[in-house]
Amino acid sequence: MSNAVRVTNRAGRSPYVIICDHASNHLPASFGTLGLDAAEMQRHIAWDPGALPVAERMAEGLDATLVQSCVSRLAIDCNRPLAAHDLIPEISETTAIPGNAALTSAQREARVALSWRPFHDAIDEVVSERLAEGRETRLVSVHSFTPVYKGVSRPWPIGIIHDEDARLAVPLIAALQRLDGINVGINEPYSPADRVYFTLEHHGRSRGLPCAMIEIRNDEIPAQTGQRKWADLLTGIFAELEPEAGEAAPFRTSDGRAAQSKA
């Protein structure tokens, strides 16, 4: 398997497959730093700080499979479709990325082959194997977000992102809302309209599988104490959670196009 993706606990007994699209700020040596200084590589523009430790602890607690990207989103964003304008961002938030400017078609395809394709191939293999074995499968992606974005404060410590198929999101949101003192963002600070739902669309929604995206504000999970708190809270919820009954909602991509099911 490619060094750009890691699959942990492939035979996990849980119905959940946990995905961490932005787990790493690693850049292969051939990229240098893409023209950025070391401090920039620690920022959210390069990865989702804290997301991987939460995802790892959840996977361990649930006996779930974990699929993680091992290359920085600055090289290529695995949670974007190949046609997205920010697949390889020349500007991230307000920061210019010199090493991503004016890439040739061959250079872009090399980035796809480096990281994007191995990551999605790995998820596809895991999900396809499970379905072929008749195993119940639900997809959950774990991300983190900044407390302030372009000068605007974000009050939610956690957000749950979903599209019109809310079979997993509705009971998850309800469980979080029953806890004292947690302001749950519902399709905040992002929604599928912001084109952040691609991985779940591609592997879950296209197959009619229940799925949801978790966003944790990264000042909640900078160190082990916060990471364990949120991982254990979410593990407890998912251990008892059952998706709402009913058929999967019709699947449309984030831009509103009807999509062909893989099922």
Q: What pLDDT, on the 0 to 100 scale, is given for residue 254? A: 55
Q: What is the pLDDT of residue 260?
A: 40
From residue 43, how far is each of 21, 47, 50, 140 by CA, in Å?
A: 16, 7, 11, 24
d(CA 130, CA 17): 10
CA distance 70 to 214: 19
Residue 259, pLDDT > 50, answer no
Q: What is the pLDDT of residues 16-44, one digit of tens each?
A: 999 999 999 999 999 999 999 999 999 99
Q: At what angle do helices 224-240 and 51-62 cross, to 10 degrees?
A: 40
Residue 2 has pLDDT above 90, yes or no: no
Name the 3-class secondary structure at 57: helix
The pLDDT of residue 250: 82
191-221: per-residue pLDDT in tens? 999 999 999 999 999 999 999 999 999 999 9
**E-assigned strand segments in 105-154:** 138-145, 148-149, 152-153
Give me the pLDDT at residue 261, please. 37
pLDDT of residue 1: 65
